Homo-oligomer: A and B are copies of this chain.
Amino acid sequence: MSRETYWTDDPAELLRVREGFELSATDSHAHPGFDGDKHAGQAALAEGAGILADLQEQLFAMSRMGGDERRILLVLQAMDTAGKGGIVKHVMGSVDPQGVALAAFKKPTPEELEHDFLWRIRKQVPGAGMIGVFDRSHYEDVLIGRVRALASPEEIERRYGAINEFEAELAATGTTIIKVMLHISRDEQKARLTERLVRPDKHWKFNPGDVDERLLWNDYAAAYQAVFERTATTDAPWFVVPADRKWYARLAVQHLLIDALEAMRLDWPQADYDVAEQQARLAAS
């Protein structure tokens, strides 16, 4: 199985949130670990698509035969327009749909609000052999939850701990967790929202509430900073991916998935039946 050849440095190392990380000091327009331009980035994405698809098939196969319980959970968080949908479409879109479990978390329903914030999340954790993708997640409960004071400060505090316990439990039961914040600048968001208002085929992607959230930009930045400080763990690391250039963000997230799958040292599973015996049965059928 081939490997990626186009990185100058491993973006999984470059983008990982470490002690002392500061979102405000991070360049959303950069392309760490990749020297090429947009055209080169798109070619690399196409090359990586084949690598990712092959690895995903092995992950899936090992769960179906051999009982491998491992799975991946990709958590996507970002301000509006940062490109979560583009990641799903252009990165996950190159993987066999049968191996992908996508969960989009919108504003909680009244029923969901009657339960603990992790209740609806637990129902969507990926099964063995799957790559699960959370488009927004339990982190909304400490992001908009904090910015809009939807819960008390004490409850927000409690949630950081509950999240770390939840994720540690997932990791201990075979889930590789990759948490991604797509990082765009305030100016880039303005340009993207403007485009949605200019093009009639994009109007449906715009919501007046997007501007309301935008007005709280600095509060969200502080809430993300707190998330990184409280929930970047060894089991469940955060990666802040510069996303002003869509091609770079897609390539970087694709790499994070490839990197996680390669670390699993996958292979094709051994047959759990006698191959020669089945060949004879088949020949006679």
A270 within 8 A of B: yes
Within the complex, the shortest CB–CB distance from A66 to chain B, in Å, comes to 8
Quick check: B97 and A268 within 8 Å, CB to CB?
Answer: no
Q: Assuming the A-B contacts A201-B268, A273-B208, are A194 and B282 also in contact, with contact meaning beta carbons closer than 8 angstroms in the complex?
A: yes
Interface of A is mostly: helix
Within the complex, the shortest CB–CB distance from A3 to chain B, in Å, comes to 18
Please list the residues of chain A having a beta carbon within 8 angstroms of any beta carbon in chain B: 61-62, 64-66, 85, 88-89, 92-94, 96-98, 100, 102, 104, 135, 190, 193-194, 197, 200-201, 203-208, 211, 214-215, 268-271, 273, 275, 278-279, 281-282, 285
Quick check: A268 and B204 within 8 Å, CB to CB?
Answer: yes
B contact residues around A85 at 8 Å (CB): 96, 98
What are 13 inter-chain pairs, A to B, with CB distance below 8 A? Answer: A62-B204, A88-B96, A89-B97, A93-B96, A190-B285, A197-B282, A200-B268, A203-B275, A204-B271, A211-B281, A211-B282, A214-B282, A214-B285
In the bound complex, CA of A214 to CA of B278 (Å) = 13
Q: Assuming the A-B contacts A268-B203, A281-B211, are A275 and B197 also in contact, with contact meaning beta carbons closer than 8 angstroms in the complex?
A: yes
In the bound complex, CA of A269 to CA of B201 (Å) = 8
Quick check: A203 and B282 within 8 Å, CB to CB?
Answer: no
Quick check: B93 and A102 within 8 Å, CB to CB?
Answer: no
